[in-house]
Amino acid sequence: MPELPEVESARAVLQRHALNRPITDVDDTDTWVCRPHAPGAIRDALLGVSLTAANRRGKSMWLDSTGPVLGIHLGMSGKIVAIDESGGETDGGDYWQRGRAPGDHRFARFSLSFADGTRLLLVDPRRLGRVRLDPPVERLGPDARDITPSQFRSALARGTAPVKARLLDQEALAGVGNLLADQILWLAKVNPSRPVDELTRPDLDRLHRAVRKAVESAVAEGGVHTLSVVPARHEGGTCPRCGTPMQRATVGGRTTWWCPREQP
């Protein structure tokens, strides 16, 4: 599933290929991905408009424009595909193990065409992405890549939820998904089931440093699938640091793996 690093790669594609050129056509006919808008409503709002900035907070993206704001959410399998005027393609978004062959647009759910011949597609096999005008991004918490230590302590220290559940709460901390959360907790040596009201100031500071390290590593290396704990998240997997067999449970509604020796 796309987490912050994958969405950042999609935002970068939008930044490079979508800005400051008039929109000449829009395909918004997928009524599920473009809900609650009727077919043609997004097209009518964007024809002749130019996109001016590509923004991201957590897993959500939106584009400022000379007209309305355009929100794009990748869902669980979405990626942005930019097609330049010569037919060259650039992907950004979800990591698919088997990739996507150039020219394979079978799962395109939304598209923009620009005056210079560039096209942008939302390609989403599972059809769980979302495109809408004027999205409610104000409900999201601080971005995990930019959150300050004081913001982080405030976001995590309230209530009694398991720390993994709080890391996954997009209104507390925007951008962390299941794999990032396991990596963060493993780096900080914190048990995923530990209630947040039992976290000490050193625990919170270690967790904040782990968030920054995990996010920056995944952005630099190409996605959450590159994180060091991911290959150990299976039966028979062992801790990458100490070799202890990894333990599995459901925490915060998600499958969770941790080292019982280093994250007691």
Number of neighbours of residue 228 by Cβ within 10 angstroms? 14
- Cα separation of 94 and 7, whole Å? 8
pLDDT at 1 (0 to 100): 61
pLDDT at 139 (0 to 100): 83
What are the distances in angstroms from CA 82 to CA 17, 77, 79, 93, 248?
7, 16, 10, 11, 39
Structural domains of the chain in order of their starting residue, each with its CATH number: 4-138 (3.20.190.10), 141-258 (1.10.8.50)
Given a contact cutoff of 8 angstroms between Cβ atoms, the answer to whether 92 and 13 are in contact is: yes
Q: Which residues lie below 8 Å from residue 125, measured CB to CB, with a gap of 6+?
A: 77, 107
Q: Report the catalytic residues.
A: 2-3, 59, 254
pLDDT at 76 (0 to 100): 87
- Per-residue confidence of the chain (264 residues) as pLDDT tens digits? 689 999 999 999 999 999 999 999 999 999 999 999 999 999 999 999 999 999 999 999 999 999 999 999 999 889 999 999 999 999 999 888 777 888 999 999 999 999 999 999 999 999 999 999 999 888 889 999 999 999 999 999 888 999 999 999 999 999 999 999 999 999 999 999 999 999 999 999 999 999 999 999 999 998 999 999 999 999 999 999 999 999 999 999 999 999 999 999
